[in-house]
Amino acid sequence: MNSKDQLVAAIDIGTTKIVAIVGRSDGNGGIEILGLSNTPSTGVKRGVVLNIEETVKAIRTTVDDLEERTGLVLTDVFVGIAGRHIKSKMARGYITRDSHESEIDASDIRRLTADMYKLPIDVGEEIIHVIPQTYIVDNESGINNPIGICGKRLEANFHIVIGQISSARNTERCINKAGMNLMSLVLEPLASSEAVLTDEEKEAGVVLVDIGGGTTDVAIYYDNVIRHTAVIPFGGNMVTEDIKQGCSILQKQAEDLKVKFGYAIGDIAPENKVVSIPGIAGREPKEISFKNLAYIIQSRMEEILDAVNFEIQNSGFAEKLTAGVVITGGGAMLKNLPQLVKFKTAMDVRIGHPNVHLTGKGKDEINQPMYATSVGLILKGLDYLEENKTFARFGEKKQEPVVQQPQYTQQHQYTQHQQSRHTAPPLKEEPVQVEQEQEQEETFYNDRPQGGRSFGDKLRNIWDKIIEATDEKIDESPSK
């Protein structure tokens, strides 16, 4: 199948929203999004599925909407995974080849990577990703691509991503109950990186910070290789909760305040502006100043950025990140957030939009930080299909149901035909036809011998007919 004709479907199961998306490659390194739909998420908390039924219902709602828009039926999908249970570590593995003279090929790399999935880990955990960083061939280090090199011992440094089995199985169970098949789980910060980071940034060294509703994902690249990943269990929902508690208002009102009037730095917020919030059940409305609202937001965002700073220092590449920080996700749309991030990290900052690989008509609509993970899942899905030489299945286009005449299978039609041969048609109430049929029956019964006569009467009737035929008289008197 041509890569341009290959369709990919993905589902981003987030804490605040669930996004279903379908796209394909444009043949020039970009992707064209054919359809996107999202719905509020109610069964997920901090990136982990806690209510399967609610999550399945939300998935089915957004998938039905996407299928109606695109005319496609989703069968195989790629799904993002995150949560506080995600952790990563470095590991080294090696294999010994049979000959020094034969060249290293892709099968050797696949065998080495497969061995890393057998690493000992804690009970209840599983390895989600094994990402090679650099290779070593016969003690010659710093090799990015060993294919074609001769050598006997092949080693590599790997970035291992580990997650809880139960969380991964619950996510897969939700997809299966929604009527789809899970092709692969993808770590969300890796997906977001594919959508918003350029090759130059990955080479120079960059930190991706994806601020979602329930979690904040961190991915660090240097020399075009992923060096560190982490999932921080704080996100935009924590800011909303702080506003709710600090201002004594409803959850929905707190979210609206954050999105419409929130600032990430209290000193920049307007001093003389206030917003009026309707009171509950007829009570007096509340007036909240922009500056007080901004200070509430700033205190929680600084806590999140302190955790990001810790992950940067823990990675060992803090001094090599020339390209600075790229923030994305729904939380990146907060006013003045880049200035706060620059103040806390002392690095250059930009907001990441998923427009690095986007093409097609819907580019402007989808080019928002909140859809970075969804677009990245499409990119990761295309890479997965290309690497494994497979394709994603889709159902046929949906058709409008025909109410007038139900559709039957060939076997059902044959059965109906056989029944019609042995079943009389239904009688209709037509008095005229019934009278005619009764007259025909009377004539028929008058012409034919009556079944109630005795044998002698029948014999006498026969003799009468013989006499009429021969014109002879027979004396019926008894013989003397």
Yes or no: say if 321 and 252 are a contact pair by the CB < 8 Å rule.
no
Q: Is the pLDDT confidence value at 140 over 80?
A: yes
**What tokens does 401 get?**
């149901």
Give residue 356's identity as a one-letter amino acid code. V
When pLDDT is averaged across residues 421-444 and rounded to a whole number, the result is 44
Q: Is the pLDDT confidence value at 445 over 60?
A: no
| Pairing, β 206-211 against β 216-222 | antiparallel
292 and 229 together in one domain:
yes
Token pair 């509020």: residue: 40
Instruction: Give the chain's domain count.
Output: 2
What pLDDT is recorded for position 99?
84
126 within some domain: yes
Token pair 């999140």: residue: 304
Phi first, then psi, for residue 168 (nearest 5°) are -65, -40
When pLDDT is averaged across residues 445-474 and rounded to a whole number, the result is 54
Instruction: Give the CATH number, domain containing residue 118.
Output: 3.30.1490.110
What pLDDT is recorded for position 403?
43
What pLDDT is recorded for position 463?
57
Instruction: Give the CATH number, domain containing residue 275.
Output: 3.30.420.40
116 within some domain: yes
* pTM summary value: 0.77
Chain segment 313-341, per-residue pLDDT in tens: 999 999 999 999 999 999 999 999 999 99
**Mean of the per-residue pLDDT values for the chain?**
83
Q: Is the pLDDT confidence value at 2 over 70?
A: no
Chain segment 211-270, per-residue pLDDT in tens: 999 899 999 999 999 999 999 988 999 999 999 999 989 999 999 999 999 999 999 998
Residue finishing a domain among 302, 333, 353: 353
Percentage of the chain lying above the pLDDT 90 cut? 58
Yes or no: say if 187 and 161 are a contact pair by the CB < 8 Å rule.
yes
Residue finishing a domain among 101, 133, 160: 160
153 and 228 together in one domain:
no
Q: Is the pLDDT confidence value at 9 over 90?
A: yes
214 and 348 together in one domain:
yes
Residue finishing a domain among 353, 386, 403: 353
What pLDDT is recorded for position 472?
47
Q: How far apart are CA 390 and CA 215, in angstroms?
A: 32
With cut-offs at 50, 70 and 90, classify the pLDDT of residue 425. very low
131 and 253 together in one domain:
no
CA 425 to centroid of chain Cα atoms: 52
When pLDDT is averaged across residues 337-364 and rounded to a whole number, the result is 88
Q: Domain containing 245: what range?
A: 199-353
- The Cα-based distances of 276 to 52, 243, 247, 249, 257 in angstroms read 38, 14, 12, 11, 10
